[in-house]
Amino acid sequence: MEIPYTIESRPDTGLYNAKLGIWLFLASEVMLFGGLFSAYVLLRVGAEPGMWPHGWLNVTLGTVNTLLLALSAITTLLAWAACKVRDFRKFKIFHACTIALALTFLGIKSYEYHDKWIHYEVQLTNGKFADGHLVEKSPDFDLAKKTGSVTLHGRIVDDERELMDLRAPAAQSAKLDEVTIAATDIKKMENYGPKHNTFTAIYFTLTGLHALHILGGTLVIFYFWAFGGAMWKTDPERFTNRIEVSGLFWHFVDLVWIFLFPVLYLT
């Protein structure tokens, strides 16, 4: 038995099955990301004065990633348009570009994550704070046993609040040096991972979930790109509909980034 409405629209909804399905799915996605954005707003307005970070993320890398996703939205549309005019060769070219752009986006995101992972804030026993990227740990470094030392490329400040606004003139003009700290002088040492503070927690949650969506979308697009030829030969119209549906998902993921970028990188 043939499944109805895989190609033509249902008279009552005006949509074919897959399009109705993806829009219902996207509605649930709006609720998921909407909830997380609400969490971001509540965490931000609930932060102590002067304790919400500014300028912690690399705006240049964020801008490059925005451009990559914008271009990938265009190549996704062009891939669908190529299917519409029955040009499979162009479809392959455009979606190869989409996949390359998506992988570059994920590569840059991984670099940003790694940068946060090797960035440490060290609370010293004298009440000051050391902050910087890890250069090396001595072979005998053990914080629990208080042996060895750690070297950071960064600076030492008197108050943790000085580390919050990196766009402030004082932070902009601060000189970074290699700082070696003995384990005996360390009260607490923590990298800028998700548990560092509420900003890094919501940052990793939002961008991590978004990156997983990019990865999932890339896998689906790759599947159509690599193995779509068989359906294209037997049922090109149905295949075109599948490309449209994957394109709708991809556009949604790009739209989420359009909100994420200013909220996380610019504010």
Partner 1 sequence: MSLKAFHLVFVTLLTALAFGCAAWAFSSGSVIWGVAGIAAALLVIVYGVYFLKKLKKISYL
Give the residues lining the site for partner 1 (CB under 8 A): 14-15, 23, 63, 66, 70, 73-74, 76-77, 80-81, 84, 167, 244, 247-248, 251-252, 254-255, 258, 261-262, 266
Q: Which is nearer to partner 1, 81 or 135 (CB)?
A: 81
- Say if CB 133 and CB 106 are below 8 A apart: no
Q: Which is nearer to partner 1, 94 or 141 (CB)?
A: 94
Q: How far is the CB of 84 from partner 1 (least distance, A)?
A: 7
CA angle 21, 255, 106 (to 5 degrees): 100
Q: Which is nearer to partner 1, 25 or 117 (CB)?
A: 25
Q: Which is nearer to partner 1, 128 or 238 (CB)?
A: 238
Q: How far is the CB of 196 from partner 1 (least distance, A)?
A: 25
Q: Which is nearer to partner 1, 170 or 190 (CB)?
A: 170
Nearest alpha carbon to residue 15 among 245, 243, 231, 254: 245
Q: How far is the CB of 169 from partner 1 (least distance, A)?
A: 11
**DSSP secondary structure, 62-99, as one string:** HHHHHHHHHHHHHHHHHHHHHHHTT-HHHHHHHHHHHH
Q: How far is the CB of 158 from partner 1 (least distance, A)?
A: 26
Using CA atoms, how far apart are residues 187 and 74, in angstroms rounded to an integer? 51
Q: How far is the CB of 244 from partner 1 (least distance, A)?
A: 5
E-strand ranges in 138-185 read 149-157, 177-182
**DSSP secondary structure, 203-223, as one string:** HHHHHHHHHHHHHHHHHHHHH
